């Protein structure tokens, strides 16, 4: 979508958000078709629940784990990231998991734009979804980090089942 950044920015400014969550579509170069996957319907459910309202993780309950961990379908306020010292973890794959949950646990103003703003090409070689190596074991360390993060924010008991199911 050639207007994606403008649409995201306008909505983020209008709602004064720390995080604006949108959605994406998957595209197959082999078939020339676009497809929506379960991750898209999860954002739909989030949009149905919250509509145009601003919320934070205290409002989310089960919906916190409906948010895709991908970075490309969100717009983050730069000052929010800097002020909270939030960065990607270097040297590990699945680093988008702790990034998403740390931002969601710290954000005070989140909103949903239920509109695809990014096209993910599913046949690109050497993406993580096609990976077959020992780096996949990084997920164990990432999940341990998530447990610590949720405990630090006093949210572990509330989300214990969802966190453990990710292991």
pLDDT at position 72 is 86
DSSP string, 33-100: EEE--HHHHHHHHHHHHHTT--B-HHHHGGGGGGS---STTEEE-HHHHHHTT--PPTT-SSTHHHHH
pLDDT for the residue numbered 165: 80
Please give the Cα distance from 92 to 25 (Å, whole number): 26
pTM of the model: 0.86
In the prediction, which pLDDT does 10 show? 96
Structure tokens at 35: 């497809």
10-residue block means of pLDDT along the chain (167 residues)? 89 97 87 79 86 93 87 94 94 87 97 86 62 70 90 93 78
pLDDT of residue 134: 65
Task: Give me the pLDDT at residue 153, please.
Answer: 94
């Amino acid at each position: 979508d050639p207007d994606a950044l403008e649409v995201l920015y306008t909505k983020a400014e209008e709602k004064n958000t720390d995080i604006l969550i949108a959605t994406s579509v998957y595209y197959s170069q082999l078939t020339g078709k676009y497809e929506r996957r379960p991750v898209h319907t999860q954002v739909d459910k989030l949009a149905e629940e919250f509509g145009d309202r601003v919320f934070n993780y205290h409002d989310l309950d089960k919906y916190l784990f409906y948010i895709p961990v991908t970075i490309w379908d969100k717009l983050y306020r730069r000052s929010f990231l800097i002020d909270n010292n939030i960065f990607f973890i270097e040297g590990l794959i699945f680093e988008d998991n702790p990034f998403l949950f740390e931002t969601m646990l710290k954000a005070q103003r989140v909103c949903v734009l239920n509109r695809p703003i990014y096209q993910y090409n599913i046949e690109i070689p050497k993406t993580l979804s096609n990976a077959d190596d020992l780096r996949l074991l990084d997920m164990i360390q990432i999940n341990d980090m998530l447990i610590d993060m949720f405990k630090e924010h006093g949210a572990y008991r509330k989300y214990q089942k969802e966190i453990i199911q990710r292991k």
